[in-house]
Chain A
């Protein structure tokens, strides 16, 4: 399959089908969807074993957390779930701190069972899932990065062009996004600059940061690469960054999926399955 545009057979000027996503991008994308989703859920299971975050080399029950999920009145008739961040308490009953457990009884745990893998308290199994999926995620991500460099995908499709980096262009792109106006014609054949920034942030910053902060939490890997402890400011800082990065990935996925729906869910999802993407060649009025 060549990378060039493939003209639609029908003589309809309003619609053109291009070959947008290479096979390796499509394959690694969906493996990544599977791995990251289950990594998130098994990660929440692991977090629930100690639902507090710290900054620095150490952090445990007697040290002040910077984030904590807890119950304000455990054992009471109406237990109140709380998220405490940097001294501020938010009531989160039903979701964080206190949620519905087996038989409808209140469960005192960070994240609710519906968000965790497995869907009950089981740190041992959650860890098995997490580290198995971490291997899948790392190998899949390595294949994606290697292919992107070798076949020129990053240089051709992901790196912003000089014209795209002009402040006026970026501002116009932001304005287009605010009005939910999507590019058509020639402009729709490549990613817009905000889209490129988002993909760069996720593929080259957030996802690699998840791997590195994850490895920093490993006492074995720390002996091999103690510089990771200095890079992230300690094992507990790395754990906090791991958590924050996971949240930012969730935020990206929410925006990504919303954009897919706004831009046309069948066309967008279809293009990530078949590679073919239909664009309007006439700007709509």
Chain B
């Protein structure tokens, strides 16, 4: 009996110490941030467990679409390269797929449109809290990765974009994003060239954007230029796997 009481007291004391440690850690910004960031790891692993059967994100009926699909982030890239591509209707645009693949290749917009497509009416959830529903048409990323034949050490797919949201002149703040192979091979992960039946407008990421349903809006990279298959993210830009990730947001944006 007294032993049990002792152990219960030990539990309470241990809990209080752990909480105290949490508070003390606040003095040290870096290690405290690490404690906070542990939440992202828990969420990632818990959701990966729940989503191990790769269920689809809900698909809506056409009548459920938002009357106006809000555009966010960059609405018009102003780099000379992009303006030149836009001027010729993206005829000179090419999507490159390279990195840890056996057969790197490039595709024109016409070639992409000629591939088998998938159309899905899905909900776009912005990290700010709003949602919009739209119909996306595009090519499954899985098919392109299979055609490029991944090397055994491939782990991530990195999307390099034409827009420079931070507005730096040297292009070092170009938008980019990354997902891992679990999401890359999901059936609803597509490279979309049409929204609501019309070619993707510039504000929505023309000529091509990523749709990775089951994650938040900032993962849906617009103005795609290059897809790089990589084994790690730390050597790319800020090293956190994306433009917003380098600015403090979670790499795993499933919540």
Contacts and interface: CB of A to CB of B under 8 A. Distances in A.
Interface of A: 1, 23, 27, 31, 34, 46-47, 49-50, 52, 54, 57-63, 122-125, 127-129, 131-135, 215, 217-224, 226, 229, 235-236, 239
B60 A31 contact: no
Nearest to B37: A128
| Interface residue range, chain B | 35 or more
A235 B123 contact: yes
Contacts of A50: 126, 128-130
B132 A223 contact: no
A271 B163 CA distance: 60
A237 B152 CA distance: 44
A135 B39 contact: yes
A57 B126 CA distance: 13
A60 B131 contact: yes
Contact of B50 (A57, A124, A224, A239): A224
Given A124-B248, A220-B255, A62 B70 contact: yes
B58 A226 contact: yes
Nearest to A214: B255
Nearest to B247: A124
Given A59-B130, A60-B66, A131-B255, A222 B39 contact: no
B67 interface: yes
Given A124-B247, A218-B254, A223 B57 contact: yes
Contacts of B35: 132
Contacts of A122: 248
Interface stretch (B87-95, B112-120, B137-145, B212-220): B212-220
Contact of A131 (B19, B43, B125, B214): B43
26 contacts: A27-B12, A31-B15, A49-B129, A54-B130, A57-B123, A59-B130, A60-B70, A60-B126, A60-B131, A62-B67, A62-B68, A123-B249, A127-B249, A127-B250, A128-B40, A129-B36, A131-B255, A132-B38, A132-B39, A135-B42, A215-B255, A220-B255, A222-B58, A222-B214, A223-B57, A224-B50
A224 B47 CA distance: 8
A222 to B, nearest CB: 6
Contacts of A239: 129
Nearest to B67: A62
Contact of B123 (A46, A128, A219): A219
A257 B71 CA distance: 45
A23 B8 contact: yes
B248 A46 contact: no
Contacts of A229: 58
B1 to A, nearest CB: 10
A12 to B, nearest CB: 28
A224 B132 CA distance: 20
Nearest to B213: A219
B66 A62 contact: yes
Contacts of B50: 220-221, 224
A221 B248 contact: no
A128 B39 contact: yes
B66 A58 contact: yes
B51 interface: yes
B5 interface: yes
Contacts of B191: none
Contact of B56 (A123, A223, A235): A223
B166 interface: no
B214 A219 contact: yes
A171 to B, nearest CB: 41
B229 interface: no
B107 to A, nearest CB: 28
A58 B8 CA distance: 48
A268 to B, nearest CB: 20
Interface in B198-216: 213-216
A133 B39 CA distance: 8
Contacts of A59: 130-131
Nearest to B129: A50
A27 B123 CA distance: 41
A23 B68 CA distance: 54
